[in-house]
Amino acid sequence: MRNKFIKVSIFVCFFSIMLVFSGVNLYSQETKARVIKEEAVLRLDPNTESPRIKILPLGTIIEVEEVVGEWLKVKLPPDERGFVITGYVHRSDVSLEIEPAPAEPPERIEEEVVEEKPRVAPVPPPRVVFKEKEEKRPAIGLGVFAGYAMPSESIYGGGVMFGGRLCFSITRNIGIELKGLMFQSTVEEDPEGLSAGKLTFTPLQVSLQGRFPVGENIVPYVGAGLGYYLSSFEIDSEIADGWNALGYDIEEKVESVLAYHLGLGIDYFFTSNLALNAEVIYTLADSEGSWSITDQVSGTQASGIIEEIGFGNFMVGIGLKYYF
């Protein structure tokens, strides 16, 4: 009987030592999440403008590695080739299943085997908080723009405009845009202003935008800023020829001027990088000009100032933007 007791004691001690040094972690748990919407978008970076990696169907179980603001960095199970895909999903698309818990040492079995109780996941799962990541650097975009400019003064005719732009997305809701445009306007003769001719504008504008994303594809915005109007005027050839026939050269000039503008627009993203844009801009500016008539024989010249040349106009157009 004594020999049997010694054998049992030796077996229990040996089994306890093996269990301690086996390295089995009985209490460590992984954080899991389950997709609770019809589809969840797995993205490369934690923002809605990031490229899509994969669409996760309802009920998909994924492993959570960390939380980045309103986004979860997750890892998918290996595919048939053994590749493991990682990316980001929005918190609203998933539900956490198990909270991460620190590993605990296994119980030592001494004289009798204790039946292990089943582990039950806490319900509801607590909020898991991880260290926030630094925000992604601002996105930069290039674009083209074309439309129609309608001057507010009745003596100026409308004209086709076109140009390009450089966009900076500082945050999700704030952006800066640099724009260069060009358009021409026909001018009716004004006894107190310019003669009939053609007025060419080259506005260079900088705008501060407030952007308000709606879902993943639509971004309305408002903007305001300053611009500098490079301007030139070409007098009508019939008027110039008439004065030339009388032995005089006539010239009229328009000064370039600082202008202010307000705008409304909307971007529709076909992809995370490419967007269709529509925009309305109102510009307010007043300039001055000068005129001169020179006698071709004697060189005698008469000149004067043209005051209050209004450059106010509405511009309506569409364009494309590509963000890097």
pLDDT at position 318? 96
Residue-level pLDDT, tens digit, the chain, 324 residues: 445 445 545 544 544 444 333 333 333 346 888 889 888 999 989 998 888 888 999 988 888 888 888 999 998 888 788 778 889 999 889 887 754 444 455 555 555 555 666 665 565 655 655 554 444 545 899 999 999 998 888 788 888 999 999 999 999 899 999 999 998 989 888 777 888 999 898 999 999 999 999 988 999 999 999 999 998 999 999 999 999 999 999 999 999 999 999 999 999 999 989 999 999 999 998 888 899 999 989 989 999 998 888 878 899 999 999 998
Domain 139-323 carries which CATH code? 2.40.160.20
Q: In this predicted structure, what is the pLDDT of residue 174?
A: 95
* 28-102+119-133: CATH superfamily: SH3 Domains (2.30.30.40)
Q: Where does residue 96 rank: exposed (0-12), middle (13-18), buried (19+ CB within 10 A)? A: buried
Residue 22: predicted pLDDT: 37
- Rounded distance, CA 276 to CA 256, Å? 32
In angstroms, the Cα distances linking 160 to 148, 216, 255, 258, 263 are 5, 32, 22, 22, 18
Q: How far is CA 14 from CA 4, 5, 109, 234, in A?
A: 16, 14, 10, 104
Using omega within 30 degrees of 0 as the cis cutoff, is the peptide bond preceding 124 cis? yes
Confidence (pLDDT) at 23: 35
Residues of CATH 2.40.160.20 domain(s) within the chain?
139-323
164: β partners:
144, 180
Q: Provide the pLDDT for residue 251.
A: 92
Q: Under DSSP, is residue 209 helix (H, G, I), strand (E, B) or coil?
A: strand
Cα 137 to Cα 75, 147, 172, 210: the distances in Å are 24, 32, 11, 18
pLDDT given for residue 223 in this prediction: 95
Domain with CATH 2.30.30.40 in the chain: 28-102+119-133
SS3 19: helix
pLDDT for the residue numbered 250:
93
Q: Output the pLDDT for position 80.
A: 80
Query: Integer distance in angstroms from the first to the last C-alpha of the chain?
Result: 82
Report the amino acid identity of residue 215. Answer: G
pTM of the model: 0.54
